[in-house]
Every structure is written in structure tokens, then in C-alpha cells.
Amino acid sequence: MKRKIFFGAAAMLPLLLAANTPAPDYDIVIRGSRVLDGAGNPWVSADVAVKDGRVVRVGQVAGRGAKEIDATGRYVSPGFIDMMDQSGGVLLKNGAAENKLRMGVTTVIAGEGGTPVPAAEIPSYFGRLEKQGISINFGSYYSATQARVKVMGDGAGSPTAAQLDEMGREVKIAMQNGAFGITSALIYPPSSFQTTSDLVTLAKVAAQCDGFYATHMRDESEGLVQAIEEAIEIGEKGGVKVEIFHLKAAYAPGWGKLMPQAVATINAARARGVDVAADMYPYTAGGTGLEIIAPSWVWADGVEKGIERLRDPKVRERMKKEVAAGSMPGWSNLVHASGGFGNVRLANGFSEKYKPYHGKSLAEIGAALNRDPADVAWDILLEGLPNRSVALYFMMSEPDIETALKQPWTSIGSDAAASEKFGEMDALGLPHPRAYGTFPRIIAEYVKRRHVLSLEEAVRKMTGWPAQRMGLSDRGLIRDGMRADIVVFDLDKLDDVASWEKPTASPTGIETVIVNGVVTLADGKHSGARAGTVLRHGCAGAAKP
């Protein structure tokens, strides 16, 4: 009998102890960290307490957290904000976004190519993301090209007044449904067929909701300054804020000259009151489709006709001459900007035939196959259909990257998507290290190795500044009352790791990522949490989430 009583008491003991243990004061307490507030201030030694998804105390925290994180010797900063994301489609397939989280990213702004659904369907699209669950916060622009294609197809030509009005109605619907503004990608047809005047008209619609005009400009190469001036003109006349996507001086003959001119142009516009800024990624190569090697007129009658033209040997002869001649009005020649086919590397041909040549330059592939490099590019493009074969274009210089990074108005954008499966290339099918390394590289390369930025300034560019820029008033800072999007990292171990040879390698040194008060990356591994939310840009008369 005594034996039974003894075991019964032992079984009750944990329950009695639990009943006498006071409830935790906070959900999470991060102890002993060096806090970088995201505003550019020097770090301070402090604890950070989180409750109900928000930071509730920064300083000495006496109370207990349900989860305690020892961050002694580590840095704590706001979660990083990716200002130029490409995850709009893939998050519907897999909301984990693990490659983003492992870079310390907690918020992304997508939509260079628009939303994956028409303007009227944005509420259901946002709702589906939230119902399925996403691990990061997500906001999006709507593309002016989406509106154009819906109204007048994918060919060239000027819209009638009635068609332009109809495009404006689509933009208004998108803005009322939570888009942050409109985008253009003027280097690519059919976006390249839009005129400055057309975009001003559509920008005026976005301005009614205090929106942005965000742009992959018409020319990032020889005509960089003129393209910036066009973007600024659209912003001034349209009454909108201007965001220049992935600012770069992508023209080898202009290295050291074009970027200082670009910076001076933006500074002059800001001095006269134009709200213009830019984001960028810290790599010397861009990545895009092989279709850009074809002059824009090839696509003037739509994609199907363009494919037909690419198959015509006579048309190719004309195209080769134009590729050799350099850029022309309405077409930015990225082969010329890269300094030749030797600096354009095949990244993904989407075919077994060309897989052995991944990582090789088009010049090298041409020599191996005894083919003109231009023919090689178009052959690969056709072979890979319906997928978009992509290449790396080595067009930028490190000194120009440093010049741009030093500007207080530049933020960071990866121009990459979340990976549907972690450890593989991103959803764009582009094996570029920016998908796995962009944000840690800013610190590892430009703070630790090159000493271009202070740690505080680097963090500001990835947190407080983009949050302020996008109107995310309760994010981007470690302060009482702010949303608890938080990164804990070991500065000594922090490294981007991803390279041209190993573009999907994971960074090191980022240990914990908290999204909306929920630990989503723990000890460098995804916890499975889906605490992200859709960020809807406010507008009078907007649809309710």
C-alpha cells in the first residue's frame, strides 16, 4: 500500500511544481545581446523582451520568458527587408522561404513583374497566402505591363486614350486591393513598348493611394543616366515616389564614370524634393533570360512571332549584325554591356543537351560547338522552351558597387525568389548566389572585409531605412511597440558563402530569426513556423483583408 502511495505522490509532484511556478512574463527574452536598433545608432548592451508579436522592452529585463535565448556576444538587429524580391508565385507552392530566412530576411517586397494574378484577384491571392501560411512578411507591387497586356496584348504599339483609361482602371483596382504601387521593366518587351507619357498617366493613378513607381529602368548600361532621368520625370509628373530597382552601372566601358553620374543625378533630384531612392544587390553579375540578346523589334508582334523569327536564319543574320553594333533605341544590348560573349555565362539552359555547358561562357560554348555565340544563345533559348533559359552577365565593377552602397538612400534587394525546395536554385531557375547570400554578404564583404560600411549603417540599409521607405511604420526597428521581426547573428562567424561555383550554399553565423514574435529559424534551422503576414499598402476605399 505504501508503495502505491509513494508512486502516486511522485506522479503528482510535477503537477504541484507546475501549479506553483508563475506564468512567464514574456513569450521570448533575448539575453545579453548587442542590440543594433536599425536606425543606424551604435549598438547597446541589452536584453530584448517579446510578447504578443511585439517588442515590449529593450534594456535590463528582470522577468522570465517562455523561451529564453542566450545571445551573449551576439548581435540582435531587426529582421532584414528584401526590397526587390521575386517570390510572388513560389510562396503559393511553398511558403517556407527558407533561403530567405537563412539570410536573416523577415520581409520581402515583390512585384517587378507584377502579381501572379490580375488586379481584381489580388484579395483572394493575398488571402490564399495567409490561409496556406508563409514564413516571411510579404508585400507586392502591381505591374503597369500587366495592365497593358490585359488591355492590348503583348505586342508593340501605342494605346488609344480609351485603352489607357482602361489600364488606369486596372491600376486603381490593384492599388485599392493593397499593391504598393506600379512597376515597369522597361528593358524587356512588352514593357519596353511603354512610353514615358503612358507611365506618367498610370503613375498618377497610383499617386491617388500614395503609391510608388518602381522600375527596372530602360537602360542600366550606356544610357544609365538618361534612364534615371526618365524615372525621375515619371515620378515628378506622376506625383509618386520613385524606387529604382537594382541600381547598377552595367557597362564595362563606363566603369568609374557612370555610377558617380547616376548618384549625382539622384542627389540633385532629391535636393529639389523628388522622393527617389534605389535598392541594389552586391554582385558584379546580373542574371536574366537569353531573350534579352535579341533586339526588341524581334518581339514587337508578341512572343509567338518572336519565337518564329528566332528560327529564321535570314532574320538571325540581321540580328547578329545588330548585336555586334551595340545598343539601339529601345534595346539595351547586354552582350555589349558585358564586354562581349566571353563575359556571358550560361546559368540554366533547361535542357539535357546544354546542361554540360552550364557555367561556361557563350564564347566558350560557341567554340566547342563550332557555332557563332549569338546562334548558341538563340539555340539554347529555343531548346529550353517553354522555360526561360538564363545567363549571368558580368557587367559591373566592385568600385561602382561600393560607390552605390555608400549612398544613404540605397537599400538592399536580392532580385531573387524563395526556393521551392531549400538547397536548390530559386523559383526563377537562376543559379545566382544572390538568392542565398545577398544580405549576409553586405556585412561579410562590405563591413568586415572591405570596410566600406559600418555595421550600424549596413543594418540600417537592410532594416530601418527600407521600412521607413515603404511606410512600414511598425517594423524595421528594435524599439518598444514594434513588430518583433528579429535576427540574432554571430558577427565573427557571419559569411555569405554562396559563390558563382556554389550559388546555393547557405550562409553561416545567422542563428535565430523571429518573425512577428515567433521563432522561425532556430539554431540555423527552420522551425516550421508560418508566422508571416501579407502587407497591404493602405488606400482610401481599399478592399478589406
Percentage of the chain surpassing pLDDT 90?
A: 90
Largest alpha-carbon pair distance within the chain? 101
Whole-model pTM?
A: 0.93
Find the helix or strand (DSSP H, E) in which 345 lies: strand 344-348
Lowest mean pLDDT among 123-137, 217-231, 421-435, 489-503: 421-435
Residue 502 in this model has a pLDDT that exceeds 80: yes
Confidence of residue 191 (pLDDT cuts 50, 70, 90): very high
Quick: pLDDT tens for 327-360: 888 888 899 999 999 999 999 999 999 999 999 9
Residue 365 in this model has a pLDDT that exceeds 60: yes
Find the helix or strand (DSSP H, E) in which 59 lies: strand 54-59
Residue 294 backbone zone (phi > 0: left; psi -120 to 50: alpha; other: beta): beta
In the DSSP assignment, the letter for residue 534 is B
Q: If you average pLDDT over residues 203-224, what whole number do you get?
A: 97
Q: What is the pLDDT of residue 545?
A: 37
Q: What cell numbers appear for 470 in the block?
A: 515603404
Secondary structure in 3-state letters for 247-306: CCCCCHHHCCCHHHHHHHHHHHHHHCCCCEEEEECCCCEEEEEHHHHCCHHHHCCCHHHH
Confidence of residue 1 (pLDDT cuts 50, 70, 90): very low
Q: What is the pLDDT of residue 12?
A: 57
Residue 4 in this model has a pLDDT that exceeds 50: no
Query: Is-contact 288 390, C-beta < 8 A?
Result: yes
Picking from 396, 101, 142, 116, the residue whose alpha carbon sits closest to that of residue 246 is: 396
CA distances from 448 to 374, 384, 396, 442, 496 (A): 41, 41, 21, 9, 12
DSSP assignment of 116-135 = SS-GGGHHHHHHHHHHH--S
Query: Is-contact 498 285, C-beta < 8 A?
Result: no
CA distances from 486 to 102, 345, 528 (A): 12, 37, 17
What contacts 367, CB < 8 A, 6 or more positions away? none
Quick: pLDDT tens for 100-133: 999 999 999 999 999 999 999 999 999 999 999 9
Q: If you average pLDDT over residues 508-534, what whole number do you get?
A: 97
Computed over every residue of the chain, the mean pLDDT equals 94
Q: If you average pLDDT over residues 185-193, what whole number do you get?
A: 94
φ, ψ at 147 (rounded to 5°): -65, -45
